[in-house]
Chain A
Amino acid sequence: MTLEFLSPDRARVQMGFEPVARSAVERALREAGARLEVRDGWSVAADFGSIDAELRACKEAAGIAECSYLSKLELQGPGDALAQVMPAGIEPGRSLRSGGAWWCPIHPERLLVLCPASATDTMRERLERDVADRAGTSLVEVTTGLAAFTVTGPASREILARLSALDTRPASFPERGFAPVSVARIPAMVLREGGDRFLVLFGSAYADYVWTALTDAGRALGASLVGADALERLAEADDA
């Protein structure tokens, strides 16, 4: 595989080394009391002491979670070729949830696919096959290039309003909405996963800076840090 060096899931135990992929803000997570667990090769903040308290925070104000462990694959190519690769129903500014992944159109010739780290290999192989069959298309894994933070809860729109000019009113940015925007004065993309849950994606070199800006804005509005387990429960509740 030509671009294997971009894929964190290709790390392996070798010569006594046991590599673990880590978020750029892991130190801040640890200092905030995160319980870290290695999941699918990533060190993940599973919780911050009490999942129930985290769920309550998400219901009453807002929860902020680190989700950079999500896999991100970028497809490029002519719009008609990409249309054959991606599921039907994707339209400009709107993502689609299909096959356990989010399909997010950056613009007509670029598509970002987000999936759980556990599903990376399967998704990547599928997309590589699709790309190989279609001239003019290509795939690059950008998992570690994009950091990802989730903001969820009734105060999430207010928190984002402190950092971004994105119009998050449901009429303007409904569920599944996906938009390239500026967040805390840097280029980013925002996905409205559902209700008041937003996934913010941006260049991972800014992770420390954005985490500081986001948690600072969130704290002032009553937000709490939440772990992956609480997020999972919320997603399950949404699915139910």
Chain B
Amino acid sequence: MTRPRLERLQRTEPAPARLGPQPGERIDRATELTFTFDGKLVRAHPGDTIASALFAAGRRTFSRSFKYHRPRGLLCCAGQCPNCLVQVGDAAGVRACTEPVREGMEVHHLNATPSLDLDVMRATDLAGGPFTPPGFYYKTFIRPRKAWPLYEKVLRSVAGLGRIGAPKPHRESRTDYRRRHADVLVVGGGPAGLVSAARAAELGADVVLVDEGVEPGGHLLAEGRHELACALAQRARDAGVDLLAPAAALGNFDGIVPVWAGDTLHQIRARRQVAATGAIEQPLIFAGNDLPGVMLSGGARRLAALYALRPGEVAVVATCDDRGLEAALALREAGVRVAAVADLRPAGAGTAALSRGDGSSGGHADALRAVGVELLHETTVVKAEGRSSVRAAVLASVDPSGRERPGTRRLVECDLLVVSGGEVPAGSLLLQAGARAVYDPDTGRFNAGELPEGVHAAGAVAGARDGVEPELSGSAAGADAAHALGLGDERSRGQANEERARLARSTAPEAAPAPAVVGEGEGKCFVCLCEDVTAKDIAYSVGEGFDSIELAKRYTTVTMGPCQGRMCQLASIRLMARSTGLSLDQVGTTTARPPWSSVPMGVLAGRPFEPAKRSSIHARHRALGATVMWAGDWRRAYDYGDPEGEVLAVHERAGLIDVSTLGKMILQGPEAGAFLDRLYPNRHANLKVGRIRYGVLGSDSGRIMDDGTICRLAQDAFYVTTTSSGAEAVEGWFQWWQTEWRMDVRITDVTPALAAVNLAGPRAREIMAALTDLDCSNEAFAYLDGKRAHVAGVPALLLRIGFVGELGYEIHFPAAFGEHVWDAVMEAGAPDGLRPFGLEPQRVLRLQKMHILVGQDTDSESNPFDAAMPWIVKLDKEDDFIGRWALEQAQGREPVGKLVGFTMNDGASPNEGAAIVVDEGPAGRVTSSRFSRKLGRAIGMAWVPPSLARDGAAIEIADEGRRLRAEVTTTPFYDPDQERLRS
């Protein structure tokens, strides 16, 4: 290889980075503010970004790369690449090039120790190459195996970008969801998007436009056409467009487009969408292409135009289309000396008429030559020289296939290397909406193919790039969207047709496809700046068999970093094609997935919503010191600090529990009884008015779904209770069957309408007497009676039932009186030693009675026969009922297990879920287990083999290494003859 010819440029003292006033500049020079970067004070102007302010202050290295810790400088200045990620306060991964400065903000660098300018981890770049191929941590760090925890600790400490603040009990920043419906959503605020939005709105549509930039205008802002951008934005506003900026569209979820703007995630549902997302300028792949000082042409122009910053003193431009030539002209106007322009296209390119609208004639190439800038055709940059920033560019002539021509190298000294590797349509949102990526061999790009219904495209993403094309394209798309909504008229349709015809006549600008890579072997050629993936890594992954783009993506992590493929997808496809011998079309693209832009997790999470149901007595439980826990959707009192004492109070005096959570339904209609008979395996149509019956609800396979009570209120009205957790499912089940059967019955869920308390214990009757004038004697109000009466002045339904095994009254009443009734009962019961009791004591009490808890003592396979409730199934019922056939089969079949009670022989309580062991094998499980202070022993319920489902049978329980012995019982542990319940 010949030594490149060195062309020395005369150096002068560095000029100040801040230029004189630029038309359309964003900064307010009259005002100054300060912030800190790594603890040092930085001065800025309002309108500056963090990056522009730091650049003005002389900083050129903004970050260290993810893997090799190489210095990285500004590249795109548009929030596309990962090169300027910083930490702002507790927020990591903030793009300095788009984040506006704020007074007093604290900014820190990421991923460098001890400092950004001196990073010891750079050793991975200088010496770690052979040890850090793709997937290196699965290869290099696997031996010795026992050292992996240490490796993992080290890897974790060096991986990742930024610091997350210590967990705090409460969020310090607020994030919100906001739903916005619209007729038309336009994504992208460049000329195409602005015109599209304005046009649709002018035709009468309700339009929302979202744009990532702090102000709309897109590329116009950096190209000296700020006035046009302002005019278009004003036209949109005048038309009534709701303009959100800066606001990043994150994806397309079946028509819902989440848009991140500040602390709000807008969920936009629009009847039509217009993607005017533009195109993304691509870097070139060459040795040292990541050095600070290598900058995309758009980035360099943005620095100059928006922030009045001179991006460098001496520039070399390498391009494959007119972008680079335009940039060279613009930079020269900004005071940058352009040493050379390397254009991949052959001589004659770049001579098309200028489109600046300033009346000048001739092409960009002519304009450059006219001011003495050397323009080299069929030439590109093969290497950037420099250690911590660009010192010079090595240029070489290449043939049409992108191969370097030997002996053509030139070394041109510069501190700014402007590159432009063409552009790719920013079509991710279109692809997410359902369009397919289609390869266009003429342009070497992947475009969105046929668009799905309701989606339009405008501007560069639709192929319109120069001159007035974006505006024409936007106008046509906006009109199409409005027309699809039934807006507009013949005239507007005619105009749209004319605009489309003009677009069809336009020709694609001249562009040469960028070579996959040049300068290999002379340094790292980065294809993915986010993940530090090199061209060599892509070839390596293909060599290892990861020969599809999707596999290579996962193996190398190319396109998986913060830029989400914006900078590297096309380049990686080109490299894959080169390594596999396939065409770009055959290699294809990776799947477009959200999020299209980086977004903080907190914004996605939104405001924390945790729907919780609370009974109307909830505050009383809190005041009484209850331990509150989740029970399904409800917040419930678990106990009041003394569960055992609460159990004994129910047995010896009286207890009061809030059972408002029970599901409650009113069934009305002449066929309500028949309806229940079809749903339950036992009879209810023959239930007398004012009486209550227990019911076990079965599925059509005969399995237990739920249980509860049914009280007949009138000949044509029933009151049905369900379990707390099953309320919604049971109501849905009832409604589902009613839809099928269409019986003369109406179902109303009154669960939240009624509060309910259960007053239970031997003193319950006396307490009731102080609350109601209803005769509560056993003769007048017997077990399983339901009566209506006023309790403490409140209309109530009283159910004499006993889930906890003592004389008890369930009082159901309008929820708005929850605290009133609770207080009244507690006060009336105080002389009798009444205590509130919670869920835990209730569980002990019901276990003593062997009352099942559906879902705990039963599972999806349990039927009433096996669950020791054969008496609930009335197979002699005249009419069919849900699950009848299955229960008929189950009746004659030997079950796998049976539900029984057990008493522990040695006093130890097994854990719920412990195994029943027979012949050293699992043969069942413990479903409930508690120590009963009342009985003085540990008791429980369990599924056991049928052969052991008999009184006195010995069972063995394996529980966390222990072997426990118990004795089976088939009758309730407490009051087996129901004497106390019926007393």
A residues within 8 Å of B by Cβ?
A: 2-8, 10-15, 17-24, 27, 42, 68, 74, 76-77, 135-138, 140-146, 158, 161-162, 164-167, 169, 171-172, 184-186, 203-209, 213, 216-217, 220
The total of interchain contacts (Cβ-Cβ below 8 angstroms) comes to: 178
CA A209 to CA B635, docked complex, whole Å: 11
Residue of B nearest to A27 (CB): B619
Hey, which chain A residues are within 8 Å of B181, CB to CB? 167, 169, 172
CA A185 to CA B817, docked complex, whole Å: 27
Asked if residues B748 and A140 are in contact (CB atoms below 8 Å), the reply is: yes
Candidates A8, A76, A205; contact of B814 at CB < 8 Å: A8
Hey, which chain A residues are within 8 Å of B773, CB to CB? 14-15
* Contact pattern, B 591-621, Cβ under 8 Å of A = 1, otherwise 0: 0000000000000000101111111101100
* Contact pattern, B 154-176, Cβ under 8 Å of A = 1, otherwise 0: 00000000000000000000101
Hey, which chain A residues are within 8 Å of B824, CB to CB? 17
Asked if residues B616 and A19 are in contact (CB atoms below 8 Å), the reply is: no
Q: Flag whether B713 is at the interface (Cβ < 8 A).
A: yes
Candidates A8, A23, A138, A216; contact of B669 at CB < 8 Å: A138
Asked if residues A8 and B816 are in contact (CB atoms below 8 Å), the reply is: yes
Q: How many whole Å from A204's CB to the nearest CB in chain B?
A: 5
* Contact pattern, B 330-357, Cβ under 8 Å of A = 1, otherwise 0: 0000000000000000000000000000
Given A140-B750, A145-B753, A204-B815, answer yes or no on A12-B177 (Cβ-Cβ < 8 Å).
no
CA A208 to CA B619, docked complex, whole Å: 11
Asked if residues B179 and A21 are in contact (CB atoms below 8 Å), the reply is: no
Q: How many whole Å from B644's CB to the nearest CB in chain A?
A: 30
* Contact pattern, B 754-773, Cβ under 8 Å of A = 1, otherwise 0: 10000000000000001111
Q: How many whole Å from B533's CB to the nearest CB in chain A?
A: 40
Q: Flag whether B37 is at the interface (Cβ < 8 A).
A: no
- List 12 interface pairs A-B (beta carbons < 8 Å), by A numbering: A2-B717, A6-B750, A8-B814, A11-B793, A14-B793, A17-B820, A19-B821, A22-B616, A144-B814, A145-B751, A158-B178, A169-B181
Given A144-B814, A205-B752, answer yes or no on A24-B178 (Cβ-Cβ < 8 Å).
no
Asked if residues A19 and B794 are in contact (CB atoms below 8 Å), the reply is: yes
Q: Flag whether B744 is at the interface (Cβ < 8 A).
A: yes
CA A140 to CA B815, docked complex, whole Å: 15
Q: Flag whether B51 is at the interface (Cβ < 8 A).
A: no
CA A185 to CA B612, docked complex, whole Å: 11
CA A3 to CA B796, docked complex, whole Å: 9
Asked if residues A217 and B176 are in contact (CB atoms below 8 Å), the reply is: yes
Asked if residues A5 and B813 are in contact (CB atoms below 8 Å), the reply is: yes
Hey, which chain A residues are within 8 Å of B752, CB to CB? 144-146, 203-206
CA A205 to CA B773, docked complex, whole Å: 30
Q: Flag whether B723 is at the interface (Cβ < 8 A).
A: no
Asked if residues B612 and A209 are in contact (CB atoms below 8 Å), the reply is: yes
5 A-B pairs with least C-beta separation: A145-B753, A21-B816, A205-B613, A17-B793, A167-B181
- Scan residues 787-826 of chain B and give those whose CB is less than 8 A from a CB of chain A: 788, 790, 792-797, 812-821, 824
Q: Flag whether B180 is at the interface (Cβ < 8 A).
A: yes
CA A166 to CA B814, docked complex, whole Å: 30
Candidates A11, A145, A161, A172; contact of B750 at CB < 8 Å: A145
Asked if residues B613 and A203 are in contact (CB atoms below 8 Å), the reply is: yes
- Number of residues from B at the complex interface, CB < 8 A: 61
Candidates A161, A184, A207; contact of B180 at CB < 8 Å: A161
CA A85 to CA B206, docked complex, whole Å: 39
CA A217 to CA B607, docked complex, whole Å: 9
Q: How many whole Å from A34's CB to the nearest CB in chain B?
A: 16
Asked if residues A162 and B794 are in contact (CB atoms below 8 Å), the reply is: no
Asked if residues B817 and A19 are in contact (CB atoms below 8 Å), the reply is: yes
Asked if residues A142 and B176 are in contact (CB atoms below 8 Å), the reply is: no
Residue of A nearest to B770 (CB): A15
Asked if residues A11 and B795 are in contact (CB atoms below 8 Å), the reply is: yes
Q: How many whole Å from B617's CB to the nearest CB in chain A?
A: 10
Asked if residues A140 and B820 are in contact (CB atoms below 8 Å), the reply is: no
Q: How many whole Å from B735's CB to the nearest CB in chain A?
A: 11
Given A205-B614, A208-B614, answer yes or no on A220-B820 (Cβ-Cβ < 8 Å).
no
Asked if residues A23 and B816 are in contact (CB atoms below 8 Å), the reply is: yes
Given A17-B792, A217-B176, answer yes or no on A205-B820 (Cβ-Cβ < 8 Å).
no
Q: How many whole Å from B794's CB to the nearest CB in chain A?
A: 5
Hey, which chain A residues are within 8 Å of B815, CB to CB? 24, 144-145, 204-205
Residue of A nearest to B614 (CB): A208
Asked if residues A208 and B618 are in contact (CB atoms below 8 Å), the reply is: yes
Q: How many whole Å from B613's CB to the nearest CB in chain A?
A: 4
Given A5-B797, A20-B820, A204-B752, answer yes or no on A162-B177 (Cβ-Cβ < 8 Å).
yes
Asked if residues B178 and A213 are in contact (CB atoms below 8 Å), the reply is: no
Q: Flag whether B746 is at the interface (Cβ < 8 A).
A: yes
- Scan residues 610-669 of chain B and give those whose CB is less than 8 A from a CB of chain A: 610-616, 618-619, 634, 660, 666, 668-669
Q: How many whole Å from B800's CB to the nearest CB in chain A?
A: 15
Asked if residues A12 and B793 are in contact (CB atoms below 8 Å), the reply is: yes
CA A208 to CA B621, docked complex, whole Å: 15
Q: How many whole Å from A121's CB to the nearest CB in chain B?
A: 13
Residue of B nearest to A21 (CB): B816
Hey, which chain B residues are within 8 Å of A216, CB to CB? 607
Asked if residues B611 and A186 are in contact (CB atoms below 8 Å), the reply is: yes
CA A24 to CA B819, docked complex, whole Å: 10
Q: Flag whether B714 is at the interface (Cβ < 8 A).
A: yes
CA A207 to CA B794, docked complex, whole Å: 21
Q: Flag whether B267 is at the interface (Cβ < 8 A).
A: yes
Hey, which chain A residues are within 8 Å of B607, CB to CB? 162, 213, 216-217
Asked if residues B820 and A19 are in contact (CB atoms below 8 Å), the reply is: yes
Hey, which chain A residues are within 8 Å of B206, CB to CB? 169, 171
* Contact pattern, B 238-268, Cβ under 8 Å of A = 1, otherwise 0: 0000000000000000000000000000010
Asked if residues A24 and B616 are in contact (CB atoms below 8 Å), the reply is: yes
Asked if residues B751 and A205 are in contact (CB atoms below 8 Å), the reply is: yes
Asked if residues A136 and B817 are in contact (CB atoms below 8 Å), the reply is: no
CA A138 to CA B713, docked complex, whole Å: 14
Q: How many whole Å from B807's CB to the nearest CB in chain A?
A: 21
CA A13 to CA B795, docked complex, whole Å: 11
CA A144 to CA B820, docked complex, whole Å: 14
CA A27 to CA B179, docked complex, whole Å: 31
CA A15 to CA B714, docked complex, whole Å: 28
Q: Flag whether B269 is at the interface (Cβ < 8 A).
A: yes
Hey, which chain A residues are within 8 Å of B609, CB to CB? 184-185, 213
Candidates B611, B790, B797; contact of A12 at CB < 8 Å: B790
Q: How many whole Å from B797's CB to the nearest CB in chain A?
A: 4
Asked if residues A140 and B814 are in contact (CB atoms below 8 Å), the reply is: no
Q: How many whole Å from B837's CB to the nearest CB in chain A?
A: 21
Q: How many whole Å from B909's CB to the nearest CB in chain A?
A: 34
Residue of B nearest to A72 (CB): B753
Hey, which chain B residues are within 8 Å of A77, CB to CB? 746
Residue of A nearest to B256 (CB): A165
Hey, which chain B residues are within 8 Å of A14, CB to CB? 773, 790, 792-793
Residue of B nearest to A109 (CB): B746
Question: Could you list 8 further interchain pairs (A-B, Cβ under 8 angstroms) beyond the known A2-B713, A5-B814, A143-B814?
Answer: A5-B796, A14-B773, A20-B820, A21-B817, A135-B744, A144-B753, A171-B206, A220-B174
* Contact pattern, B 295-314, Cβ under 8 Å of A = 1, otherwise 0: 00000000000000000000
Candidates B660, B748, B792, B819; contact of A22 at CB < 8 Å: B819
Asked if residues A205 and B615 are in contact (CB atoms below 8 Å), the reply is: yes
Candidates A7, A10, A144, A185; contact of B611 at CB < 8 Å: A185
Hey, which chain B residues are within 8 Å of A220, CB to CB? 174, 176
Hey, which chain B residues are within 8 Å of A19, CB to CB? 792-794, 817, 820-821
CA A7 to CA B788, docked complex, whole Å: 12
Residue of B nearest to A145 (CB): B753
CA A204 to CA B617, docked complex, whole Å: 12
Q: How many whole Å from A157's CB to the nearest CB in chain B?
A: 10
| Residue of A138, A203, A208 with most chain B CB atoms under a 10 A cut-off | A138
Hey, which chain B residues are within 8 Å of A141, CB to CB? 753
Asked if residues A136 and B813 are in contact (CB atoms below 8 Å), the reply is: no
CA A110 to CA B842, docked complex, whole Å: 38
Residue of A nearest to B266 (CB): A161
Residue of A nearest to B616 (CB): A24
- Scan residues 776-796 of chain B and give those whose CB is less than 8 A from a CB of chain A: 788, 790, 792-796
